[in-house]
Amino acid sequence: MLEEKTILITGATKGIGRALVSRLETHNTLRFALVARSSELLGELKAHLQSQGHECEVFVGDVAAEPFVTSTVQHCVERFGSIDILVNNAGIGRFGEVEQYSLSEWQQLFDTNVTGTFLFSREVVPHMKQQGRGQIVIVASDVSKRVFEGGSAYCATKFAQDAFSMALRKEVRRFGIKVSTIFPGLVDTSFHAQPQGDPAHQGWLRAHDVADAIFYVLNTPSHVVIDEVMLHPLIQEY
């Protein structure tokens, strides 16, 4: 079902985004548009995908920068003729008590996690409407549905992503556009204070577990939309 599709993935260089690229590599007819801030990692990824025979464009920039997002989507449509799938995955975390947050830290969280999701969705929706089909996947978090001490800012961004997704789903369903939200629990990626693979992450989800869930969501028949997927490591209490 992914034949001849163009997929734009934000946060493609590490963690869940990178695992999703690996999961999708087996589909030779997919066209990749990949976004992150690190040009070096994106360059390596592009070279790797091209060596496997894939079409790939990379875009180095911040998901919260409006001109960057606008030009990225425009370039993709010009280059590939369409954007069939958008995966809003880029995100950051900051944790601590409320009085420890500076305004700029608070804003950076909202810029990356919420504004980035809004901007990319806003830019692709007109193209998807024109095509009469499309799919938007939003990688939120299980803390879109619950909160924890020290998570006030991060949870607020993830609740916002969830609310945005739910309203967007209602708006675009009639145009043949699917909106699916993924709510992972703890995932062993470089997102956390300890490095990926740290013993403290033992038993957590692996990035490829979440990528597999996204892959499943992307492979439904045209009349089916999976609205939400929540997944946790068995050992996690939540």
191 binds ligand NAP (CB under 6 A): yes
How distant, in Å, are the alpha carbons of 70, 185, 201, 208, 237 from that of 234? Answer: 40, 10, 13, 16, 8
Q: Is 154 a catalytic residue?
A: yes
What is the rounded CA–CA span in Å between residue 142 and residue 158? 8
The binder of ligand NAP chosen from 135, 141, 165, 181 (CB under 6 A): 141
Where do we find the tokens 């606008």? 70
Rounded to the nearest 5 percent, the helix, strand and coil shares of the chain are 45, 20, 35
Residues between 73 and 102 that touch ligand NAP (CB under 6 A): 89-92
Counting contacts by CB under 6 A, is residue 106 touching ligand NAP? Answer: no
- The minimum distance between CB 49 and ligand NAP, in angstroms, equals 15
Active-site annotation holds for 216? no
Cα separation, 82 vs 130, in Å, equals 10
Which CB atom, from 116 or from 134, has the smaller least distance to ligand NAP?
116
Is 57 in contact with 33 (CB distance < 8 Å)?
A: yes
**Candidate list 158, 170, 178, 238, residue with the active-site label:** 158
Is 186 a binder of ligand NAP (CB under 6 A)? yes
- What is the amino acid identity at position 205? L
Q: Is 63 in the site for ligand NAP (CB under 6 A)?
A: yes
Active site residues: 154, 158
